[in-house]
Structure 1
Amino acid sequence: MDLLLARDLLAWPPGDNDTDTIIDGVHFNLTTLKFWNYTYWSNKTLSNVTWCELGFQPYLADTLLENGTWVNSTSCYVPLDPIGTRSAVGMGYAVAYALCLLLVLVNLTKHGKLHLPSEKRFVPIGRRWQWYWAIWVCATAMIGLFFNVDVDRYYVMEIPILITSFFWYLMQMGTTALVWEAVRHWGSWMERQYIDPNPFVLPEEGRRWHFEFWVPLFFYFWDWMNFFMVIPRNWSPIERQRAPDQVVNEAEPNAMDPRFKAATFMLFICWLTIVVYLQHAVRHYEAKHRGAANRVKGFFSYMPWRFILEIPLLLALVVYQGIAAWDFDLSPLKVNTYLPAVFVGGYTPSLLILIIQIIDGFMRPNEDRELIRQRRVRGAAVDQELGYVQKPAWWHRNAGADDMANRIMRNVREVGGGRATATRVDDIAQGRAVRRDSSLMAAGGGGGGGIEMSPMASPGGVGGGTAAPPPYTPYAGKSERRKTEHAMQAAAAALFPQPSNPASAAGSVADMPPPPEFGAAVAGTDGDVDDNRQAGMLRPRSGERNHSTASSVSVSQQRPQQVRSMLDV
């Protein structure tokens, strides 16, 4: 490149007279050129402290006015040269980073989606940070590599070398943070699986909790210190690589100053922090081993395969940043640097780390889905231990389905279900009392006031009847509840006897049919009225069953069906 030629001062070419000079066939006023302190250089450029113009055709200016204005000129800082090796290789790497960016977005969508409620202890953004940093790495790498094209094409170097170097350092910082977030989140994921069966197996306080709280702050402190050592600085001396003397006197000393060297050590501290945190996660959330050799073996056996590859690649990236701070010929800040070192040590580790992360992201399931699967497996194991057989999927109730519970409730509403004593209890009891008083007055001629004051006859009758009571048949069941119900029914029948025809109870007493004798069979004919009926005692026949469970409910009265269970439907 003409850029690399010795920019020695040249004498002004002779012209028609002492105040004229001819440069590439164009006449210029030499007095005006000297007045504005222009100098003619061996790379065929005309420049002073402020301006730099190309001095060869077809970019040479038509003339220079007395006020120092060039007419139809071309600045030195334009891309004129063809694309070189640095640009071609850089474009290939830029395309690779662009493809990685698309795949990173796919993985972010996959692993960032929630399928379980968010927990305070494991926030959703924790699993997404590694993909956010991967986007940062792809973006900074593409910007820096695209500006590599102008590093080759600029006739006189200016800002492109600064932009590509600036974003290269940002890419190194982002790659370190990417590996850190991958390791940190892997430890968090191990903790989440560890405590999911028993949330109280690990305390939220203690040395482990404090270590996991402070180590991220420690890491980002040194990572951002690397940023502040490199980025906020005067980059102008590094772009002055337009002549060998400028490279030696200005660009190289600034590219290897103590701040670049200190930034390398800060990045190395970040790498050590990642290794220590990985060992911490393996020690707390994986099986324990005894002995130094077994612990080392267990550390590498439990470590995910991606970290076995990524951590050495990150160390290679840190080492190359240190080499660039001590050897300017291998640094990406130099225009004519050694390109294999730049791309192999500067861009390849970051690209490989991205590829490993993407492959692992496609292989791993979403963490919420994996946690659901683990819970299902644990539930199946517990059911197997208890001998419980899980119902098939079609058995479970679906939203809006017409299941058995809904059908039962609908039937209950149709028949007017409810407690038996919940409707017209007082009316039924009062009507029955009135009918009984009327019957007693008509039969015995006595006046019974209320239910409590009604005369009660002995089993033998008022007139000393000799009729025997019906035979007693004891209950042979085993339920105490049924025994109690039968006793209550017998007491209710004795205290509140019912007429055999309730519909005619409200009429005349003379219209009532006579009850059968005590000794008559259930299916027998009507007999004469005995002394017991004359005394006012209406006792039911022995073969007649009383279905009443309370003293105020009549079984002969038309009542809604009372649904007490599914069997009544």
Structure 2
Amino acid sequence: MALLAARDIIPFPAGANSSDTLISGVHLNKTTLEFWNYTLFTNNTISNTSWCILAFPPYTPATILNNGTWINETWCYRPIYPIGTRGGVGIGFAVLYAIGLALTLVVLHKHGKLHLPAEKRFYPIGRRWQWYWALFSCAAAIISLFTSIDVDRYFLPELPIILTSFFWYLMQMGAMALVWEAARHWGSWMERQFIDPEPFVLSQNDRRAKLEFFVPLVFYLWLWLNFFLIVPRNWGKIEHQRYPEQTILDAIPAATDGRFKAAAFCLVVCWLITFFYLRHSIKHYCPRSQGFLNRTVGLIRFIPWRFYFLLLISAAIPTYQALVAWEFAWSPLNVQGLKAAIFAGGYTPTLLIVYVQIVYGFITPNEDVELKRQRRVRGADIDAQLGIAPKPAWWWRVRHAGEGGGSNENMRDRIARNVREVQGGKPKPPAFEDVPTMRNEPPPPAIDNVEMGSLPPRQLSQQATDLLAPVAPQDFGSARAMADRYQGLGERTRAMQHAAGLLFPNSPQDAAAAARRREELMMDGPPPYSEAVGGRPNGLGREISGTSTTGSINSPPQQIRSMLDV
């Protein structure tokens, strides 16, 4: 320290008398300066280890009072210089990081949004961690770069060099975690696609599952070791770069100690774990190859394109951190460090990693959307193999939307529903007292070969006759004629209406035929419902009693006339 004092401390210049000194053209009381233990240094500063005053124009103080108070002084730790190279380039990098942060928010909204129900095996936050770390890295880089502006502007180094170095190390940690989460989630996405067609194809208790549980814990163990080796320390010695001797004695040993070297080694281990996990995902979720050479070729072939960039760029992060732990001249902790090395090796790799992730996020779809597309393609392939044709839109409406009667609807109800659709509403059921009257009507003459033969015009209902009646060409110009002609019905619906007219005739002339047909259908079975009991007629011309079955035993067998009789 004696050598240091002899080289950096200089005596006060002579003044007007023995109690006066002339510093930069200003007369100061030498006795007061010596009383308050002030000394003059070769860098034109006056200091007593508590106060440091600039002593060169135009910052020379006006005077000093007897109580040690300075008049019109300038503190040594003030930004008095213009923005230098480090600050100017830092502003440009900060703008690029700010744009990357905004774009990362957009990509996070795209890929973090859920389009399928959340699964316990694949938590939604798992896909978002890589974007969270990207935001963290951009924020740390912006703070580090903006605080680096004052590194060149301060006359003596102080808080800015500590802030820019502190957040620079945090940015490096965030970049390594970003690459790791990208690789880990890619393996999780491959597993999700692998088990989606068959959920139980992979066991959750095998060696693969245990490795995927413990490897992330090991990675973050080494990452936090890097954090605890760097952050909790005495950063004050990094400021001691006010003159060359102080830099050699304090700053360089503090910036290149064993903790910084060990922290760089921790990042190397993190990079190796990331590469190992990427290989693990390719081994278990991609087609396998036999032989060492084939496996090596398969590893290179199945690595996604972005990981070629991420792995190569991220390898520069621990490399540069180890380099500055041995070589202080290239370190961001050095106030006069090499600017090209600081920005090329310190800030550029993280910036490239963030933008590679942004490009990947914009050109790839959301995972839930992609999984739904794969399910549709897989379902179409299975239907094609089984010969299943896709159902029309009306089938889904009738089957699922409640427009039909459901799967328990019998044929009679379906035909009745079709009749309601044809007639435009639900027909009113006959009154209870009208049923015997309908059954007592005389039957019409029988019609042979109903299904295969041609039907006489008198058997068609009035509505069906109106539908099948030809319309003159000139009537198509009228909206009313078109409505009477078509009534919103297709050929299939009109065929259903025609069949319904045969099964459920509504015209008076067809009532007798319906009664006779009902009598034929009921001959081989229990008698129809009637109020007649105790020997009274039941509406079909025969007497019945509550326990008589002679009608069904002695009657001739039923004659099947059509498929509707079965």
TM-score by length of 2: 0.73
- Which position in structure 2 is the counterpart of 1:488? 525
Helix, strand or coil for the counterpart of 2:53?
strand
- Which position in structure 2 is the counterpart of 1:158? 158
- Which position in structure 1 is the counterpart of 2:260? 260
- Which position in structure 2 is the counterpart of 1:440? none
- 1:126 partner amino acid: G
How many angstroms apart in 1 are the aligned matches of 2:533 and 2:229? 104
Instruction: Note closer, same or farther for the CA distance 1:389–1:484 as it changes in structure 2 (3 Å cut).
Output: same
- Which position in structure 1 is the counterpart of 2:373? 373
How many angstroms apart in 2 are the aligned matches of 1:27 and 1:386? 104
TM-aligned CA deviation for residue 297 of structure 1: 0.8
- 2:226 partner amino acid: N
How many angstroms apart in 2 are the aligned matches of 1:126 and 1:398? 41
Helix, strand or coil for the counterpart of 2:21?
strand
User: Does the alignment pair 1:230 with 2:267?
Assistant: no
Helix, strand or coil for the counterpart of 1:121?
coil
User: Does the CA-based 8 Å contact 1:241-1:251 persist in structure 2?
Assistant: yes
Instruction: Note closer, same or farther for the CA distance 1:121–1:7 as it changes in structure 2 (3 Å cut).
Output: farther
- Which position in structure 2 is the counterpart of 1:389? 389
Helix, strand or coil for the counterpart of 1:53?
strand
Instruction: Note closer, same or farther for the CA distance 1:29–1:194 as it changes in structure 2 (3 Å cut).
Output: same
User: Does the alignment pair 1:20 with 2:25?
Assistant: no
**5 Å matches for 1:277-296?**
277-296=277-296
- 1:199 partner amino acid: P
User: Does the CA-based 8 Å contact 1:332-1:342 persist in structure 2?
Assistant: yes
Q: Which moved more, 1:483-492 or 1:296-305?
A: 483-492
How many angstroms apart in 1 are the aligned matches of 2:92 and 2:78? 23
- Which position in structure 2 is the counterpart of 1:460? none
- 1:170 partner amino acid: L
User: Does the alignment pair 1:331 with 2:331?
Assistant: yes
- Structure 1: unaligned runs, 5 residues or longer: 1-5, 429-481, 503-514, 519-531, 546-566
- Which position in structure 1 is the counterpart of 2:113? 113
| 1:76-111 deviation digits (Å, cap 9, x = unpaired) | 111111111111111111111111001100000000
User: Does the CA-based 8 Å contact 2:310-2:356 persist in structure 1?
Assistant: yes
Q: Which moved more, 1:365-374 or 1:485-494?
A: 485-494
How many angstroms apart in 2 are the aligned matches of 1:353 and 1:48? 48
- 1:129 partner amino acid: W
Instruction: Note closer, same or farther for the CA distance 1:133–1:410 as it changes in structure 2 (3 Å cut).
Output: farther
User: Does the CA-based 8 Å contact 1:90-1:145 persist in structure 2?
Assistant: yes
- 1:349 partner amino acid: P
Helix, strand or coil for the counterpart of 1:46?
strand
User: Does the alignment pair 1:315 with 2:315?
Assistant: yes
Instruction: Note closer, same or farther for the CA distance 1:83–1:267 as it changes in structure 2 (3 Å cut).
Output: same
| 1:141-166 deviation digits (Å, cap 9, x = unpaired) | 01001111101111111111111110
- Which position in structure 2 is the counterpart of 1:197? 197
- 1:177 partner amino acid: A
- Percent identity over paired residues: 52
Instruction: Note closer, same or farther for the CA distance 1:180–1:497 as it changes in structure 2 (3 Å cut).
Output: farther
How many angstroms apart in 1 are the aligned matches of 2:124 and 2:201? 22
| 1:149-207 deviation digits (Å, cap 9, x = unpaired) | 10111111111111111011001111000000000000000000000000000011110
Q: Which moved more, 1:35-44 or 1:343-352?
A: 35-44
- 1:69 partner amino acid: T
TM-aligned CA deviation for residue 37 of structure 1: 1.4
How many angstroms apart in 2 are the aligned matches of 1:417 and 1:102? 69
- 1:187 partner amino acid: G
| 1:374-420 deviation digits (Å, cap 9, x = unpaired) | 000001001111111113557643999894559959979966889x9
User: Does the CA-based 8 Å contact 1:316-1:349 persist in structure 2?
Assistant: yes
- 1:243 partner amino acid: Y
TM-aligned CA deviation for residue 30 of structure 1: 0.5
User: Does the CA-based 8 Å contact 1:7-1:41 persist in structure 2?
Assistant: no
How many angstroms apart in 2 are the aligned matches of 1:118 and 1:135? 24
User: Does the alignment pair 1:75 with 2:75?
Assistant: yes
Helix, strand or coil for the counterpart of 2:27?
strand
- Which position in structure 2 is the counterpart of 1:170? 170
User: Does the CA-based 8 Å contact 1:7-1:243 persist in structure 2?
Assistant: no
User: Does the alignment pair 1:499 with 2:537?
Assistant: yes
Helix, strand or coil for the counterpart of 2:232?
coil
User: Does the CA-based 8 Å contact 1:7-1:43 persist in structure 2?
Assistant: no
- Which position in structure 2 is the counterpart of 1:298? 298
Helix, strand or coil for the counterpart of 1:77?
coil
TM-aligned CA deviation for residue 60 of structure 1: 2.3
Alignment RMSD (CA, Å): 3.5
How many angstroms apart in 2 are the aligned matches of 1:57 and 1:393? 89
- Which position in structure 2 is the counterpart of 1:350? 350
Q: Which moved more, 1:401-410 or 1:241-250?
A: 401-410
- 1:162 partner amino acid: I
- Which position in structure 1 is the counterpart of 2:34? 34
TM-aligned CA deviation for residue 216 of structure 1: 0.5
TM-aligned CA deviation for residue 272 of structure 1: 0.7
TM-score by length of 1: 0.73
Helix, strand or coil for the counterpart of 2:8?
coil
Q: Which has the higher helix share?
A: 2
How many angstroms apart in 1 are the aligned matches of 2:77 and 2:287? 63
- Which position in structure 1 is the counterpart of 2:443? none
- State how many pairs are aligned: 448
Q: Which moved more, 1:47-56 or 1:178-187?
A: 47-56
TM-aligned CA deviation for residue 498 of structure 1: 4.9
| 1:233-274 deviation digits (Å, cap 9, x = unpaired) | 000011110000011000000101100010011111111100
- 1:250 partner amino acid: D
- 2:121 partner amino acid: R
- Which position in structure 1 is the counterpart of 2:359? 359
How many angstroms apart in 2 are the aligned matches of 1:29 and 1:490? 136
How many angstroms apart in 2 are the aligned matches of 1:183 and 1:73? 57
How many angstroms apart in 1 are the aligned matches of 2:420 and 2:164? 79
How many angstroms apart in 1 are the aligned matches of 2:324 and 2:119? 45
Instruction: Note closer, same or farther for the CA distance 1:392–1:332 as it changes in structure 2 (3 Å cut).
Output: farther
How many angstroms apart in 2 are the aligned matches of 1:64 and 1:161? 31
Helix, strand or coil for the counterpart of 1:201?
coil
- Which position in structure 1 is the counterpart of 2:219? 219
User: Does the CA-based 8 Å contact 1:133-1:178 persist in structure 2?
Assistant: yes
Q: Which moved more, 1:491-500 or 1:362-371?
A: 491-500
- Which position in structure 2 is the counterpart of 1:148? 148
Instruction: Note closer, same or farther for the CA distance 1:130–1:499 as it changes in structure 2 (3 Å cut).
Output: same
TM-aligned CA deviation for residue 9 of structure 1: 2.1
How many angstroms apart in 2 are the aligned matches of 1:116 and 1:359? 24
Instruction: Note closer, same or farther for the CA distance 1:496–1:355 as it changes in structure 2 (3 Å cut).
Output: farther
TM-aligned CA deviation for residue 45 of structure 1: 1.2
Instruction: Note closer, same or farther for the CA distance 1:106–1:500 as it changes in structure 2 (3 Å cut).
Output: closer
How many angstroms apart in 1 are the aligned matches of 2:255 and 2:73? 33
- 1:41 partner amino acid: F
How many angstroms apart in 1 are the aligned matches of 2:227 and 2:419? 71
User: Does the CA-based 8 Å contact 1:161-1:335 persist in structure 2?
Assistant: yes
User: Does the CA-based 8 Å contact 2:90-2:145 persist in structure 1?
Assistant: yes
- Which position in structure 1 is the counterpart of 2:447? none
User: Does the alignment pair 1:48 with 2:85?
Assistant: no
